[in-house]
């Protein structure tokens, strides 16, 4: 029997189903960071909002609110919100109004 084997069938119980692991949200250190990034975007700047520690649905809702307030596009994926703007000060003010502790990170 090899080391990589796992039980898939038992004569007692029949087929063994593995429970899928629920994705966990990393709460981080409680500080939301705004980072400006242009890498891989042909020089166009976006602001990355990290450290929110929200579930996917809540993250999308917050991303929608931020995009509407700034009048720009963006996306929410893998715990990070991308906002297509360089105006980090406006984003910082909006997030602080919502009760987050915000730091400007990166260049």
How is residue 9 written in tokens?
């069938």
**Phi/psi of residue 61, each to 5°?**
-65, -45
62-87 pLDDT, tens digit each = 999 999 998 999 999 888 999 998 88
What do you get for the CA distance between the two ends of the chain, in Å? 54
What stretches in the chain show pLDDT beneath 50? none
Strands 46-50 and 80-83: antiparallel
What angle (nearest 5°) sits at the alpha carbon of residue 49, between those of residues 46 and 51? 155
Q: What is the pLDDT of residue 73?
A: 92
Q: 22-105, superfamily in CATH?
A: SUI1-like domain (3.30.780.10)
Structure tokens at 2: 């090899």
Q: What was the pLDDT predicted at 54?
A: 84
Q: In what order do the strands lie in the sheet with 46-50?
A: 74-77, 80-83, 46-50, 31-37, 101-105
- Pairing assessment for the beta strands 80-83 and 9-10 based on DSSP bridges: unpaired
User: Which residue shows structure tokens 């020089």?
Assistant: 43
pLDDT for residue 82: 92
């Amino acid at each position: 029997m090899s080391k990589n084997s796992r039980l898939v069938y038992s004569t007692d119980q029949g087929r063994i189903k593995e429970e899928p692991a629920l994705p966990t949200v990393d709460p981080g250190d409680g500080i939301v960071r705004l980072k400006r990034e242009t890498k891989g975007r042909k020089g166009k700047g976006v602001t990355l909002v990290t450290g929110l520690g929200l579930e996917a649905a809540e993250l999308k809702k917050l991303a929608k609110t931020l995009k509407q307030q700034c009048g720009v596009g963006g996306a929410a994926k893998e715990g990070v919100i991308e906002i297509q703007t360089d105006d980090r000060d406006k984003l910082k003010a909006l997030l602080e109004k919502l009760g987050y502790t915000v730091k400007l990170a990166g260049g």
